[in-house]
Amino acid sequence: MKTFVLIHGSWHGAWNWHKVVPLLEKAGHKAIAIDLPGMGRDKTPIGEITLQTGVDKICEVLDSIGDKAILVGHSKNGIMISQAAEYRPEKIEKLVYLAAYLIPNGKTQREYSMQDTQGVLKPYVDFHEASQSTTLRPEIYKEGLYHDCEDDITELAKVLLSHEPFVSGVTPLQLSKEKYDSIPRYYIECTEDRAVTPFIQRKMYTETPCKKVYSMATSHSPFFSQPKELVEIFLEISNAD
């Protein structure tokens, strides 16, 4: 039995994984989906959230697990699993980046996001100075995040999507060869992604090579549109040497 720790992306929460968790459990594994601080059901004030705040939450979860975990990060919060890996390399068996920001030492998520000029989300992102956070306008949800998903997912998102902390995306990662690079990395690219486009995904996993790259012909949200196929990839990764 393996333990998967599942980290959601921007504006989302643990509910991202509601189709994936039961499939992993049916396959005999443990799956833990968390709300990062200030997200989902976590009520930490959004203006207090930093990169460190999120990483500390992940480290707490890792510390509570007896064995090593397979740590999965989606979208922006690839940065969270990378930094957590630097702090807890002994607690992580593998890192899995799902259409996620795979950022090298000393760089920020925003530096790479700004290079992704073909993504459709940016014109619909509103910045809130008082809370140092962003929100995404609902009119882009379907096209930008869920174009191959059932309509009920978009309706759920209209209720559940929340503010996203800004500071974490402009904080440079601090990663070392001795710790972060000691953990095998895997990348799952989404080739029809309109949020984190295939261009920037390929740039990132080319600059920071992974043990294997998998491809899914999906939107940014394969955990909704193709959960069974996604779990099959997770299981293959879990069995890899």
How many C-alpha atoms does 177 have within 13 Å on its Cβ side?
Answer: 0
The domains of the chain are located at 3-239
> Can 193 be counted among the known catalytic residues?
yes
Q: How far apart are CA 146 and CA 221, in angstroms?
A: 6
Q: How far apart are CA 153 and CA 226, in angstroms?
A: 13
What residues does 135 pair with on adjacent strands?
A: 126
Record the pTM: 0.98
Read off the pLDDT of residues 173-200 as tens digits, 9 standing for 90 and up. 999 999 999 999 999 999 999 999 999 9
- Among 8, 10, 75, 147, the active-site one is 75
Identify the CATH assignment for 3-239 out of 3.40.50.1820, 3.90.1150.10, 3.20.20.70, 1.10.260.40: 3.40.50.1820
Q: Is the pLDDT of residue 241 over 90?
A: no
- Among 35, 193, 219, 221, the active-site one is 193
Mean of pLDDT over the chain: 97
Read off the pLDDT of residues 118-144 as tens digits, 9 standing for 90 and up. 999 999 999 999 999 999 999 999 999
